[in-house]
Amino acid sequence: MTNPVQTEADLATIMKIIPHRYPFLLVDKVRDVVARESAVGIKNVTFNEPHFQGHFPGAPIMPGVTIVEAMAQTAAVLVGLSVGFGERAPLVYFMSIDKAKFRRKVVPGDVLELHVTVKRGSTRIWKFEGVAKVDGQIAAEAEFAAMIDASTQVS
Q: Burial of 119 by CB count in 10 Å (0-12 exposed, 13-18 middle, 19+ buried)?
A: exposed
Neighbours of 114 (CB within 10 A): 27
The full length of the chain comes to: 155
Burial 32-41 (b: 16+ CB within 10 A, else e): ebebeebbbb
- Is 55 annotated in the active site? yes
Q: What is the DSSP letter of 20?
A: -
Active site residues: 55
